[in-house]
Amino acid sequence: MSDVYAHPDVAAIVAFALQEDLRDAGDITCRALVPRGSRLSGVVRAKQAGVVCGLPLFAHVFRVLGGGVAVERCAADGTRVVPGDEVLRCAGDAGVMLMGERTALNLVQRLSGVASETRRYADAVAGTKAAILDTRKTTPGLRILQKHAVACAGGANHRIGLYDQALIKENHIALMPADGGSRGPAEAVRRARAALGSALIEVEIETLDDLEGVIAAGADIVLLDNCAPDVVRAAVRQRGDRRVLLEASGGITLANVRAFAETGVDRISIGALTHSSGALDLSLRCAPIA
C-alpha cells in the first residue's frame, strides 16, 4: 500500500478515535489546568523490544486538533527497537499534545504490536520460500493500518476485503452439489471462474483428494486448511511445477511455523498476526518549554 497515511480510511479512523475521547465537552482537564499558549516538548520511547509502526499518526492526530506541534520521527515503520530507544520527538502547543497523546499512542502501540508479531513469524521462516500473510481477522475499522503494519515488518497482505479477491471457503462449498461423494470445491471454482473471468480465485480444501479437481477447474491459489505439515508437503509434491500457489493456514504458531515453511509451501496465512497481537509498550514524557 503506497502512502497508507494519506488514505481516507486513516483520516476517518483518527477522526472517530478523537471524537470518542473528546465528545462535545473536549478535554476538561486541559481546560482547567493548561494555560492558553503554553508549550511542551516530548519524547516517545520504547519500553520493550519490538518493531515500531504508525509513528506518522502522531502528526496526523496533532494536525486534526489544530496543529502547532512539530514532530520528528526517529524511527521508520518496520524499525526494530529495544527498551529506552527514542522513536519520536515533538514540541509545541501543550493543549494539542495532551489532548492527542493517548489517541496517537493507542494506535501506534497496537500497530507496533502487529508489526512485532509479524517480524517474529517472518524471522522464524527466514531462508525458506514461504511468505507470511495476514487475513481479514482484523480489528473492525483498523484493517488498512493493521495490514500496513504486517507489510512493513516482513509479512505480506492477503486480500484487503471481499471486493479484491475471491476466496471460496467451506461455507460456500456447502452450497455446491456433491461431487464424487464429497462436497464440491471444484464445482465452486468452475462457477466462480465462469462468473468472474480473470479475477484471482482461491479455494479452501480440507483433503488432498480435492487438489487435482480445483487445479483443473482453474484455481489460482489453493488453501490447505488445518492440514498437518506432512499433508502440506504431499500437496507440494502433487502440485509439482504447475502454476498454482499453495497456502497453509489453521493451527499455525511460532512453535510450528518453521515446519510448515520447510514443506515448500508458498504462503502461510496467520490470523493471529492481527486478531491476537498485543500492544508494544511505548511512553510519551513531556517537559515544559520556557
Instruction: Tell me the C-alpha to C-alpha distance, in Å, between residue 286 and each of 49, 95, 102, 200.
Output: 22, 12, 13, 50
Known catalytic residue: 45? no
- Cross-strand bridge partners of residue 41: 91, 287
204 in catalytic set: yes
CA neighbor of 114 nearest in space, from 253, 290, 270: 270
Choosing from 39, 80, 89, 169, the catalytic residue is: 169
Distance CA 16, CA 144 (A): 15
Structure-block grid coordinates of residue 61: 492526530
Measured CA to CA, the distance from residue 165 to residue 223 in angstroms comes to: 13
- Neighbour-count burial of 58, counting CB atoms closer than 10 A to its CB (0-12 exposed, 13-18 middle, 19+ buried): buried
On whether the CB atoms of residues 124 and 257 are closer than 8 A, the answer is yes
State the cell numbers at 204.
Answer: 479452501
Active-site entry in 77, 93, 187, 204:
204
Cα 67 to Cα 37: distance, rounded to the nearest angstrom: 12
Q: Looking at 47, 136, 137, 233, which residue is catalytic?
A: 137
**Beta carbons of 96 and 103 less than 8 angstroms apart:** no
Q: Which of 256, 179, 237 is nearest to 210 (CA)?
A: 179
**Cα–chain-centroid distance for residue 268?**
14
Residue 102 among the catalytic residues: yes
**In the annotation, is 129 catalytic?**
no
Q: Catalytic residue among 21, 27, 85, 225, which?
A: 225
For this structure, is 47 an active site residue? no
One of 45, 102, 136, 258 is an active-site residue; which one?
102
Residues classed as catalytic: 102, 137, 169, 204, 225
